[in-house]
A and B are shown apart, each in its own frame.
Chain A
Amino acid sequence: MPRITVNVDGIAYEEEVEPRLLLVHLLRDRLGKTGTPIGCDTGNCGACTVMLDGQSAKSCSVLAVQADGSDVVTVEGLARGGEWHPMQRAFHEEHALQCGYCTPGMIMAAIDLLRDDPDPSEEAVREGLEGNLCRCTGYCNIVRAVRRGAAEMSRRSASESSAQEVPAP
């Protein structure tokens, strides 16, 4: 069986895996990273979305062996120093989740969406999240949350860069 090394939410794992094992099953069944759920078997729902080397990926559509040597961030690895990621907070503030099953994937996809477009319009958010299905919310609050999260992230990166520009007294 192939042996792979994969870094998940900051921890390096070395695992022997069957070639057919899906990344999502590696995460859930082997590593106990159950924060990333599975909603379908055809790559349509997006519930399983994670960051794979900085880009969003549906972890049900990636083999564990393909993730060898990669860096994976799941929803469990977003918080920093006990503080939620702005997108997690925005989902909470805007009531962008009900059952919460789609939420991990939705949050990861939303963060990925902002890499290309840090200030997406409503339209752009709706198009950008086309691959993530939610059965509970009707999406209105998800769209609001993504735009709120985007605004907060821009505000932070602006204040971070201005902090860097100002020389220390």
Chain B
Amino acid sequence: MTEQLVENAPSAAHEVGKARRRKEDARLVTGRTTWTDNIQLPGMMYVAFLRSPMAHARITRVDTSAASGRPGVVAVYSGRDFADEQGSLPCAWPVSEDVVIPDHPPMAVDEVRYVGEAVACVVATDRYRAADALEAIEIDYEPLDPVLDMTEALAEGSTKVHDAGNQAFTWKFAGGDIEEAFRDAPVVIERTYVQQRLIPSAMEPRAVVATTDGDAFTLYSATQIPHILRVMLALTTGIPEHKLRVIAPDVGGGFGSKLQVTAEEVLALLLTRRLGRPVKWTESRSEGNLTVHHGRDQLQRISVAADRDGRVRGVKVDLLADMGAYLMLVTPGVPLLGAFMYNGIYKMDAYDFSCTGVFTTKMPTDAYRGAGRPEATFAIERAMDELAHELGMDPVELRRRNWITHEEFPYTTICGLTYDSGNYEAATERALALLGYDKLRAEQADRRDRRDPVQLGIGVSTFTEMCGLAPSRVLGSLSYGAGGWEHASVRMLPTGKVEVVTGSSPHGQGHETAWSQIVADALGVPFEDVSVLHGDTSVSHKGMDTYGSRSLAVGGVAVLAACEKVKDRAKELAAHLLEASADDIEFADGTFKVRGTGAGRTIQELALATFAAHDLPDGFEPALDADATFDPDNFSFPHGTHLCAIEVDTETGASKIRTYVAVDDVGSVVNPLIVEGQVHGGIAQGIAQALFEEAVYDTEGNLLTTTMADYLIPSAADLPDFVTDRTETPATTNPLGVKGVGEAGTIASTPAVVNAIVDALRPYGVNDVRMPCTPERIWRTVTEADPAIWAGPTAAGNNIGDSAGPPATGGDTTDWAGPTVAGDDITGSAAEGGAR
């Protein structure tokens, strides 16, 4: 525990920092949960959606009459039936002046633009009957060409997804003199990386229940954002905000996928309004794979200019980002969240970023765990490994030569962000020791010497990220439509128990436990005496919800701030009751005492005194309760070093992670158990991108990976145990010293794994394997490699097979292919590794 925390947590209890078992678990391990799909209301009807089988088509005829006559069917509607009422699904992040935000009807009216887009719906007495009746709806389509490839979409004469064209926006950002940095640079690395499209795949499918008493509406939804959803639904449907209550009951994971205002949420409300009865919709997994927003899908060109000694001079990034068919809640903002991160943890003279958002006829993309930052981290960390290889330098040594040293914090990066604190050296040293880096490098050299068909690769990822979203002013300067503050209330009940209301909205993160720990220390009350309320806009009237690793770094700090206010009020009351000056009152372990005397009142006694209100100071309201809102001045910057040792069977393409080490620095820690769990889960999702997952569309624009049999979410059998540790450098930008942990593992692990695979295959002249690095891709890469390379003279940088390595502009290959002899170079890095 840090001094800073002790200061803010004067109770002897010291709950903060303890590995408390979670309060949430009791209902979850016994099945007494409230998932949205559990909710049954009297007279409730079930909704099913008919979805477009075409990627791009005009709707020429709709006939719902046969479906209407089916047993149990209450109503059947097409998009046209709601055309005047359904509005347009919102995009809250108009990133640029040139952004095109197309109309996005919840049910398509004239044209469909991706497979899975809702075109009609059935309301029936049970789920089976609703699904049955879908078959009887007749829709005629006039096919249009699908638009599937971003580069082709931008080409002259391409079929247009929307009338305004296929370019959604352009966005640029620069720092320093990039031309100067690249001019005469002794080494320039240019690479193109494909961030494949991913499906977030929270285990709980989306579900919505809507009901009305004729005047007011309640919407239950499996959402991460009940507060934002309420505002957006009020604006979209015209239901006044004060007549709309949104409840996020137990929510089974989100990872960004439930940070959305969905067609189904809007339509559930409209159907309830029209029919005057409760409705429920729950998606099937196959429906979800088609229509829960997807993640990533960027084409990244990155160039790094460096000196021969490895010093990075500048980084240039050019992105194409696939928006899919529409801009959803924060679709165009996702690449911007990475725009300030392609410099990573490194010092440099210049930086240049440009991004073009592109419309295609696919499911829209939007936030998925890390949103923009995993992409950025992947590109820079992959490029650093390429640079190290090019220079014949150990990849850790290259990073060491470029990273911000711990004495240099706070450090303002080339992107203008001020990293408040960190210690990259400490995290890296720890990680190297845990992995046994030198020994593994020696083994690697041995396997290379022996031409072992099973090669060993070691991947390095020294990452940071910006999270704790976010300072409202910064969001404003980036054209985001809302703020980044968070709200909390702390209520002292007459019996001395405490209710905490938080505006962040958990779906697995353990807020009830962590917030209780913060409050227990701040107010000196038992952990068990605190309950945490959330996720219902009638209970928690203000909030900005949960995403961007913000809950603790913003919401937790708001809880602490509310506790401080409660304490101030309690102190005033204690002074009055003890007939002392407030200046003489000390607070420790839940008791307010007159300094130097034994006289005191516990916080519980004071709470009861406000309930009775018989003897309060003049003008003192009979309560100790307080509200607080925290708006951070800066982002927080967790960092860490992840190392992956992987064995690659060059004969079969199979890869097996042998050891995965993660040393993360997430600042001060409220609950180490929860932090470790978040890191584990994050790493697993990052590895999943590296090795397993990809949303695949065919040439007609049909999604091929609609089920969990096709979209390969890793099981326990596919993953290793992770070795995790932490260094603790408190954030200086919030009084808890915390940095956020929800996304860190996912951001760090993808490049660690791919770097390891490429490292294993270096002797074959391989410098990239496209994600996901499946056995087939690895096998092809090795098979297509020139067998002469191993002994050959100049092939170190040769780009092989399926990889996306060469510069898209077809520049001189010497730009990116190294002059060093592969074999020599390898010996070189092994020697360096061994020397450390």
Contacts and interface: CB of A to CB of B under 8 A. Distances in A.
A13 interface: no
B613 to A, nearest CB: 40
Contact of A139 (B203, B253, B707, B716): B716
B713 A133 contact: yes
Interface centre among B31, B32, B205, B509 (most CB of A within 10 A): B31
B622 interface: no
B31 A92 contact: no
Given A37-B37, A42-B707, A44-B708, A76 B681 contact: no
B643 interface: no
Contacts of A44: 707-709
B29 A88 contact: yes
A156 interface: no
B680 A140 contact: yes
Nearest to A40: B285
Given A92-B21, A92-B25, A100 B715 contact: no
A139 B680 CA distance: 8
Interface in A73-123: 74-76, 78-79, 84, 88, 91-93, 95, 97-104, 107, 122
A84 B30 contact: yes
Given A37-B204, A40-B285, A139 B684 contact: yes
A101 B31 contact: no
Nearest to A85: B29
A150 interface: no
A3 interface: no
B53 interface: no
B684 A103 contact: no
B508 A131 contact: no
Given A42-B285, A75-B30, A135-B202, A99 B708 contact: no
B252 A101 contact: yes
Contact of A88 (B30, B205, B683, B715): B30
B204 A34 contact: no
A6 interface: no
Given A125-B716, A135-B253, A138-B683, A99 B31 contact: no
A131 B707 contact: no
B828 to A, nearest CB: 35
Contacts of B508: 98-100, 136
Interface string A9-53: 000000000101100010011001111111111101101000000
Contact of B709 (A42, A79, A138): A42
A99 B680 contact: no
B22 interface: yes
A97 B21 CA distance: 11
A104 to B, nearest CB: 5
Contacts of A20: 128
Interface residues of B, number: 58
Contacts of A40: 284-285, 707-708
Name the prevailing secondary structure of the A interface residues: loop
A99 B204 contact: yes
A126 B719 CA distance: 8
Given A20-B128, A75-B29, A93-B21, A134 B203 contact: yes
A21 B717 CA distance: 32
Interface centre among A20, A42, A127 (most CB of B within 10 A): A42
A92 B29 contact: yes
A59 interface: no
A139 B24 CA distance: 19
B140 interface: no
Contacts of A142: 716
B454 to A, nearest CB: 19
B203 A130 contact: no
Given A130-B717, A136-B253, A45 B128 contact: no
A136 B252 CA distance: 9
Contacts of B715: 126, 129-133, 139
B507 interface: yes
Interface in B111-170: 126-128
A138 B681 contact: yes
B716 A95 contact: no
A74 B201 CA distance: 24
Nearest to A35: B31
B699 interface: no
A125 to B, nearest CB: 7
A131 B715 CA distance: 7
Interface in B65-96: none
Contacts of B510: 98
Contacts of A45: 203, 285, 708
Contacts of B204: 37, 39, 99, 101
A65 to B, nearest CB: 14
Given A34-B31, A84-B29, A133-B715, A100 B250 contact: yes
A29 B27 CA distance: 19
B681 A98 contact: yes
B708 A97 contact: no
Contacts of A18: 128
Contacts of B21: 92-93, 95
Contacts of B33: 34-35, 37, 100
Contacts of A37: 33, 35, 37, 204, 252
Given A133-B708, A135-B255, A95 B673 contact: yes
Interface centre among A93, A95, A132, A135 (most CB of B within 10 A): A135
B713 A135 contact: yes
A4 B684 CA distance: 43
B671 to A, nearest CB: 9
Interface in A131-168: 131-143
A94 to B, nearest CB: 9
A130 B712 CA distance: 12
Contact of A38 (B25, B37, B126): B37
Contacts of A79: 30
Contacts of B745: 138
B707 A41 contact: yes
Interface string B192-207: 0000000001111100
A74 B31 contact: yes
Contacts of A38: 37, 205
B722 interface: yes
Interface centre among B24, B126, B286, B677 (most CB of A within 10 A): B677
A40 B717 CA distance: 19
Given A35-B33, A88-B29, A92-B25, A140 B285 contact: no
B685 interface: yes
B286 A103 contact: no
Contacts of A138: 680-685, 719, 722, 745
B677 A137 contact: yes
Nearest to B683: A138
Nearest to B679: A138
A21 B128 CA distance: 9
Nearest to B287: A41
A91 B22 CA distance: 11
A37 B250 CA distance: 12
Contacts of A34: 31, 33, 35, 37-38
A99 B674 contact: no
B719 A95 contact: no
Interface string B8-43: 000000000000011011111111110101101000
Interface of A: 18, 20-21, 25, 28-29, 32-42, 44-45, 47, 74-76, 78-79, 84, 88, 91-93, 95, 97-104, 107, 122, 125-127, 129-143
10 contacts: A34-B35, A38-B37, A45-B285, A74-B31, A101-B252, A133-B708, A133-B715, A136-B677, A139-B719, A141-B677
What are the nearest 5 A-B pairs in CB distance?
A: A35-B31, A100-B28, A101-B252, A99-B508, A138-B684
Interface of B: 21-22, 24-33, 35, 37-38, 40, 126-128, 201-205, 250-253, 255, 284-286, 507-510, 673-674, 676-678, 680-685, 707-709, 713, 715-717, 719, 721-722, 745
Given A98-B677, A135-B681, A140-B722, 5 more contacts: A34-B38, A88-B29, A99-B28, A100-B33, A143-B721
